[in-house]
Structure 1
Amino acid sequence: MKKNKVPFNFQRFIAIIKKEFIQIRRDPFSMRAPIGMTIMMMVLFGYAVNTEVDHIATAVFDQSKTQQSREYIDKFESTQYFVTKYSVSSEDELTALLDSGRVKAGIMIPADFATDLKQNKSAQPLLVIDGTDPTLARTALNSGVLISNHYSVDLREKFLNAKGMTDMKAPGVELNTKVWYNPNMDNNKFTIPGLVGLILQNITVMLTAFAMVREKERGTIEQLIVTPIKSTELILAKLIPYIMIGYGAFLLALGICRWWFKVQILGNVFLLLLLGALFVICALAIGMLISTFARNQSQAMQLTMIIILPSVLLSGFVFPLEAVPVWIRPISFLIPLSYFMQIDRGIILKGIEMNYLWQDTLALVVFLTIILTTAIKRFKKSLD
């Protein structure tokens, strides 16, 4: 005999929201943890985190297209520091790649590169660097200048040996450099915006991961079993109070980022607030999904750590994704925080708009839909 489907009831939905607010008010941890953990982690991580990198995704704009320019590019490609990902045909293409974060450095070789060398002049290519990650930028700057100097010395030695000359009047290369987005390569400007997303995820996932488990351990789940409440009503109603708490933590972290650490938001603040709300809901949905698997708080904590630890290492917070080994890199695409890192740092440090962020935004929407749907389907009004 088929059971009659119970329609969505808005009155029941509001009642569950009120009940959840009352439960949060009775649980001091739920009120104090977001504020305390946000301040503590922002300060500790903000001063303690350092990063290192050894591979840099690079785009090349070769206007010379000569044997000399190809040899010069080969010097960069033969090192462990630069990996050529794109060859572009205009400065606008190179700029777009840097804005989108697909490359972290760009080599621009002028059209008269080979001509200058043949005329015993110093050619002047340009190395453009994404300065949002100061450690990466310093590595690119130092190694780029070093590689170029070595090439220049080799070029002069070959020229002098061929001419039988002993003076240093010979062609060479003078590499010009520009650091975009973070010219002073301030480490805080890279770390602090990333912390906003990392701390936001950790706090919100932990809060909702214990939501359903708390119902089971306190026995209040039994009261829900005998009601006609639907899974959709229960899950969404439980999320709403935590959305408000999580978004409050996001605003607090953003405020510390701006006024404590003096990191200016170069992009659209309202876009950041909107996409931040999307990530808050996505992170809360992850915690709610965990709570449908866990039978007790110990299990919930273990599952939460399984989510949190990989996201610290593989989201781009510590290591640039380009430096992550190829066989591990696909895991980062399964972590919602990876996409919010691009959004967060893109708006704060680069000032980019939605036309560069729509793919990351779409990924968050897809993750939210899948995770929330799975959590609703997994919930069963039973003690099993």
Structure 2
Amino acid sequence: MNWRRLSAIMLKEVRQLRRDRITLAMILGIPVMQLILFGYAINLNLRGLSAGITDQANTAASRAVVMDMVASGVIAPKLAATSPQQLTDALRRGEISVGVVVPPDFEARRFDGREAVQVLVDGSDTVVQSAAIQLAQLPLDTAPVANTQPLGLGKGQVGVVSFYNPQRRSAVNIVPGLIGVILTMTMVLFTGVAIVRERERGNMELLIATPVSRSELMVGKVAPYVLIGLLQTTVVLGLGMWLFKVPIAGSVFDVYAAAMLLIVANLSLGLLISTRAQSQFQAMQMTFFVFLPSILLSGFMFPYAGMPKAAQWLAEVLPLTHFLRLIRGIMLRGASLAELWHDVLALLAFVVVMMTAAILRFHKRLD
């Protein structure tokens, strides 16, 4: 083996890598991204769960118990409701994760040793469910009143009611999210190589010669994959119901409408990637940079509530984050798209921005 020839080949490869900015970014970016995402995003010890509180007793003891729960750091008051029905409605819409109900006869229950406080939990997220159950195990003891009865509660006087997934089956939580993960992975990848593939196969000259406009070409590239995405959604839904008995509490039409929003959002993002990449390999590399944060920050693998604020802000930009709220709200909590309109608008805005950027970046010329 000739060392001179070998070193020349090695030098040529290093120079090639230096010119390939996307590959260079992956060499340095992937370890940094994984370290930051796994270090900051993964937190199974949840604190500050959004909570609604209904104190129908409104006594010194009931207020002290609620203050003890808040002081534990497990919950953070977000909604002051007047009835348990308001709390269940807020749970269904995804506005809160935990509801605390203090009944009007709280004092009598407290002295009799009966269940005096109910904690309503959104069981569609099993990690949140486990964190909220901690409230029933907290020592809620405060100072006594006139040296007679303590204000706190004894063991078993805080009951937990889990909604939507009382058996705590992980498949009920994972299968709806898998729809979004699969659509994110396939739709972005399919369209990420769309324009690049035409250029590499020499078909771009034919497209340039046609009277098709930029917007028509981009929309035409997206449309066939919409049907593929809906087919994938049907397959996951069917297998999830058949194999894992995953329920669909809401409207099937709303499920497909939410899936359609995610499909179009991912396709528009893929088109933007395709206008930037110089080869199909580069397009796949750029797709990986989108897919990894989506998996880690969207709330699919790790709870959104446990992430720091900076990670939550980044997660709000990702379509998968909003889709998970939609699909779990519809399938598990029976909510409608109208009740989850914030996430619907977020996905629509993402589609408009990404598609506009892709159309503006694409030019019908070979350079």
- Is 2:54 aligned against 1:57? no
* Residue of structure 1 aligned with 2:140, choices 151, 158, 174: 151
CA distance in 2, matches of 1:54, 1:64: 29
**Residues 342, 120 of structure 1: alpha-carbon distance in 2 compared, 3 angstrom cutoff:** closer
1:103-135 per-residue CA deviation (whole Å, 9 max, x = no partner) reads: 111111122324655x66656111111111122
1:287-328 per-residue CA deviation (whole Å, 9 max, x = no partner) reads: 111101111123212221121111112212122322221122
* Structure 1 counterpart SS, 2:182: helix
* Structure 1 counterpart SS, 2:344: helix
* Structure 2 counterpart SS, 1:106: strand
CA distance in 2, matches of 1:238, 1:354: 28
* Residue of structure 2 aligned with 1:69, choices 62, 65, 79: 62
- Is 2:193 aligned against 1:210? yes
Is the CA contact (8 Å cut-off) linking 1:193 and 1:345 kept in structure 2?
yes
* Residue of structure 1 aligned with 2:93, choices 100, 109, 126: 100
- Is 2:274 aligned against 1:279? no
CA distance in 2, matches of 1:171, 1:219: 75
Report what 2:319 is aligned to. 336
1:173-224 per-residue CA deviation (whole Å, 9 max, x = no partner) reads: 7112211111111111011111111111111111110111111222211222
- Is 2:281 aligned against 1:316? no
CA distance in 2, matches of 1:381, 1:97: 50
Is the CA contact (8 Å cut-off) linking 1:289 and 1:371 kept in structure 2?
yes
**Residues 123, 196 of structure 1: alpha-carbon distance in 2 compared, 3 angstrom cutoff:** closer
CA distance in 2, matches of 1:67, 1:290: 59
1:143-179 per-residue CA deviation (whole Å, 9 max, x = no partner) reads: 11111xx225x66xx57x935x9xx9x9747112211
Is the CA contact (8 Å cut-off) linking 2:124 and 2:332 kept in structure 1?
yes
- Is 2:135 aligned against 1:138? no
**Residues 210, 308 of structure 1: alpha-carbon distance in 2 compared, 3 angstrom cutoff:** same
Shift of 1:77: 1.5
How many residue pairs align between the two structures? 323
**Residues 97, 320 of structure 1: alpha-carbon distance in 2 compared, 3 angstrom cutoff:** farther
Is the CA contact (8 Å cut-off) linking 1:53 and 1:136 kept in structure 2?
no
CA distance in 2, matches of 1:102, 1:320: 15
Once the two structures are superposed, the pairs formed by residues 41-56 of structure 1 within 5 Å of their partners are: 52-55=44-47, 56=49
Is the CA contact (8 Å cut-off) linking 2:44 and 2:306 kept in structure 1?
no
CA distance in 1, matches of 2:226, 2:45: 35
CA distance in 1, matches of 2:251, 2:78: 29
Is the CA contact (8 Å cut-off) linking 1:51 and 1:318 kept in structure 2?
no
Report what 2:26 is aligned to. none
Shift of 1:80: 3.6
Shift of 1:72: 0.8
Shift of 1:99: 0.8
Is the CA contact (8 Å cut-off) linking 2:326 and 2:337 kept in structure 1?
no
Report what 1:85 is aligned to. 78
Report what 1:294 is aligned to. 277
CA distance in 1, matches of 2:115, 2:268: 55
What is the TM-score when the length of structure 1 is the normalising length? 0.78
Q: Structure 2 counterpart of 1:299, which letter?
A: Q
CA distance in 1, matches of 2:66, 2:356: 49
In structure 2, stretches of 5+ residues that fail to align are 1-41
Q: Structure 1 counterpart of 2:329, which letter?
A: G
1:235-260 per-residue CA deviation (whole Å, 9 max, x = no partner) reads: 11111222222221121122222212
Is the CA contact (8 Å cut-off) linking 1:120 and 1:171 kept in structure 2?
no
What is the TM-score when the length of structure 2 is the normalising length? 0.81
CA distance in 2, matches of 1:171, 1:247: 52
Is the CA contact (8 Å cut-off) linking 2:207 and 2:364 kept in structure 1?
yes
Once the two structures are superposed, the pairs formed by residues 100-179 of structure 1 within 5 Å of their partners are: 100-114=93-107, 117=110, 122=114, 124-141=116-133, 143-147=134-138, 150-151=139-140, 158=144, 162=147, 172=154, 174-179=157-162
Is the CA contact (8 Å cut-off) linking 2:294 and 2:318 kept in structure 1?
yes
* Structure 2 counterpart SS, 1:178: strand
